[in-house]
Amino acid sequence: MGTGYVGTTTALTLCELGHQVIGYDVDPLKIASLQNKNLHFYEPGLKDLLVKHLHSGNIRFTENIKQAVQQSEIIFICVGTPQNDDGSANLEYVQQAATMIGNYLNNYKVIVNKSTVPVGTAEKVTKWIHDSMVSPIQYDVISNPEFLKEGTALADSLNPERIVIGSHSEKATDKMKNLYSKFKTTFVHTTPQTAELIKYAANSFLATKISFINEIARLCENVNVDVKDVAFGIGLDSRIGSSFLQAGIGYGGSCFPKDVLALLSTAQQNNTNLSLLEKTYSINNTQPFYFIEKIKNKLKDIKGKNIAILGLSFKPHTDDIRESPALKIIEELYKQSANIFVHDPVAKLPKILSQKITQIHSIHSLPENTDALIICTDWPEYETFDWLQVKQKMRNPYIFDGRNMLNASNMTKLGFYYDGIGYRQF
């Protein structure tokens, strides 16, 4: 249930494992789109798999919830768990899904929660199903959190580094083991509560690594050190590891920002002070503005300046702009009366911004008198631009690299003023 990023990827992964899958979503447009072999989001490789399994009949999509529930042995809940105003996770869609399942339950089923949900949700789902059942039927609710990353969702899902199964029922655990028997990976068998917390702790730890290196980057700028060298040097220690140490304008997306806040909310509800995670959150919130200050210092006055933003999505290989740091930078520069031009290979400006800001579809459409380029997303194609040609379009050849993706000395040799995050100026 739920054919968003996670639902669709999970469904196609299960097809690859040799299972028959029915996809259901409350949004009839999404069902129609998937039935017509169209994905409503951009994810490399997923469309081919969708077409393959629609043709083979391994997957079908329906608007009929009764059929979807009654014809399934195992039901995956993959609905959104957005952020409430107070930062806690909104379980409205999970409750709706559980109620629908309860309404149509006809024989024993395993209900698998794949959505990211706070500790104790499996118990709530169990109750919501129970309260909506027409007649008493046996079922088990288990937690099986998802760890895929957008942009590499398929590869992550087909080659999981671990599978976490939180279950109190041996029968349900056996069914899950059987379902995933083709996966050669580590299985973590635990309680639903532990599985739920593993998911939030994993995301919060990764977010903390990013905020840590971003804070170190601020120090690097004051002591004339390049943060990339520091990240490389510490990352070689296998206890630290080199991933998620790329300094930049902060983390965005549909997961880290909301999941960090949701864990802080769980902690608060349980009288625990997660002060380190609070810092992770506040460093991330200030990181785009920290970067804008550097830009302002160089440009002096932002007002009336022609500024090009390269990259809109919260990371490369996706069109997802949810909580993208690029949006924070665009909004702030707009407030300060800059003329903004945005480029992204796939992502589009939200409607509200597209009325005020121009989206260009090629770097060659930059205005002649561009004052500065700001890289907000590390799309690989930005590395291979003909930068000399780009420079000719610029009044001031200034590049502010919010993802530290370009080679600083090459850009300087080409005649650009180059600045990144935690970058040592020569």
Ligand X SMILES: O=c1ccn([C@@H]2O[C@H](COP(=O)(O)OP(=O)(O)O[C@H]3O[C@H](CO)[C@@H](O)[C@H](O)[C@H]3O)[C@@H](O)[C@H]2O)c(=O)[nH]1
Ligand Y SMILES: NC(=O)c1ccc[n+]([C@@H]2O[C@H](COP(=O)([O-])OP(=O)(O)OC[C@H]3O[C@@H](n4cnc5c(N)ncnc54)[C@H](O)[C@@H]3O)[C@@H](O)[C@H]2O)c1
> Residue 370 in 3-state DSSP?
strand
231-260 residues near ligand X, rule: CB under 6 A:
244-246, 248, 251-253, 255-256, 259
148 binds ligand X (CB under 6 A): yes
Could you tell me which stretch among 125-133, 148-156, 338-346, 354-362 binds ligand X (CB under 6 A)? 148-156
Say whether 257 sits in a helix, a strand or coil.
helix
353 is in an annotated binding site: no
Q: Which of residues 13 and 81 has its CB atom nearest to ligand Y in the complex?
A: 81
Comparing CB distances to ligand Y, the nearer of 2 and 422 is 2
Q: Which is nearer to ligand Y, 258 or 343 (CB)?
A: 258
Stated as kind and residue range, the H or E segment containing 218 is: helix 192-223
Confirm whether residue 199 is marked as ligand binding.
Answer: yes
What are 289's strand-pairing partners? none
CA distances from 322 to 82, 121, 174, 257 (A): 11, 25, 37, 10
Q: How far is the CB of 9 from ligand Y (least distance, A)?
A: 8
Q: Give me the 258-287 binding string for ligand X, x by CB under 6 A, dash otherwise.
A: -x----------------------------
Three-state SS at 108: coil
Residue 1 burial class via C-beta count within 10 angstroms: exposed 0-12, middle 13-18, buried 19 and up: buried
CB of 99 vs ligand Y, minimal distance in Å: 8
CB 209 to ligand Y: min, Å: 18
Distance in angstroms (rounded) separating the CA atoms of residues 343 and 185 = 40
Indicate which of ligand X, ligand Y, none lies near residue 274 (CB less than 5 to 8 Å, by partner kind). Answer: none
Decide if residue 104 touches ligand X (CB under 6 A): no
Q: Is 15 a catalytic residue?
A: no
Q: Which two tokens stand for residue 139?
A: 């079922």
Minimum Å distance from CB 405 to ligand Y?
22
Q: Please give the DSSP secondary-structure letter assigned to residue 357.
A: S
Sheet holding 339-343, edge to edge: 358-360, 339-343, 306-310, 372-375, 398-401, 417-419
Is 348 annotated as a binding-site member? no
Contacts (CB under 6 A) with ligand X, residues 187-216: 203, 206, 210
Q: Is 30 annotated as a binding residue?
A: yes
Q: Is there a binding annotation on residue 25?
A: yes
Interaction partner, residue 69 (ligand Y, ligand X, none; CB < 5-8 Å by kind): none
- Cα 320-422-371 angle, rounded to 5 deg: 70
Q: Which does 47 bind (CB under 5 to 8 A by kind): ligand X, ligand Y, none?
A: none
Q: How far apart are CA 39 and CA 34, in angstroms?
A: 6
Nearer to ligand X, 140 or 259 (CB): 259
123 is in an annotated binding site: no
Q: Is 141 helix (H, G, I), strand (E, B) or coil?
A: strand
- Is the distance from CB of 110 to CB of 73 less than 8 angstroms? yes
| Contacted entry of ligand Y, ligand X, none for residue 248, CB cut-off 5 to 8 Å set by kind | ligand X
Q: Tell me the sheet residues that pair with 6.
A: none
- In terms of phi and psi (left: phi > 0; alpha: psi -120 to 50; beta: otherwise), the region of 45 is left
Contact in structure between 376 and 400 (CB atoms under 8 Å)? no
Reading the block at residue 316, the tokens are 């490369």
Selected catalytic residue, list 15, 78, 220, 255: 255
156 is in an annotated binding site: no
- Site size for ligand X (CB under 6 A): 21
The reply, when asked if residue 148 is annotated as ligand binding, is yes
246 is known to lie in a ligand binding site? yes
Of all residues in this chain, which one has the CB nearest to ligand Y in the complex?
4
Q: Choose among ligand X, ligand Y, none what residue 42 binds, the Cβ cut-off being 5 to 8 Å by kind.
A: none
Cα-based angle 179, 181, 186 (whole degrees, multiple of 5): 115
Q: Closest residue (Cβ) to ligand X?
A: 255
Of the candidates 30, 109, 114, 315, which one interacts with ligand X according to CB under 6 A?
Answer: 315
Cβ atoms of 298 and 396 within 8 Å: the answer is no
**Smaller CB distance to ligand X: residue 75 or 245?**
245
186: three-class secondary structure by DSSP: strand
Q: Residues in the site for ligand Y, rule: CB under 6 A?
A: 1-7, 24-27, 30, 78-81, 93, 96-97, 100, 115-116, 146, 148, 150, 254-255
Least distance from ligand X to the Cβ atom of residue 255, Å: 3
Contact 209, 244 (CB under 8 A): yes
Apex CA 144: angle with CA 123 and CA 279, to 5°? 85
Please tell me what DSSP assigns to residue 325: H
Catalytically active residues, by annotation: 255
- List interacting residues with ligand X (CB under 6 A): 116, 146-150, 203, 206, 210, 244-246, 248, 251-253, 255-256, 259, 314-315
Q: Binding-site residues for substrate, please?
A: 147-150, 199, 244-248, 252, 315
Q: Binding-site residues for NAD(+), please?
A: 25, 30, 81, 116, 150, 258, 322
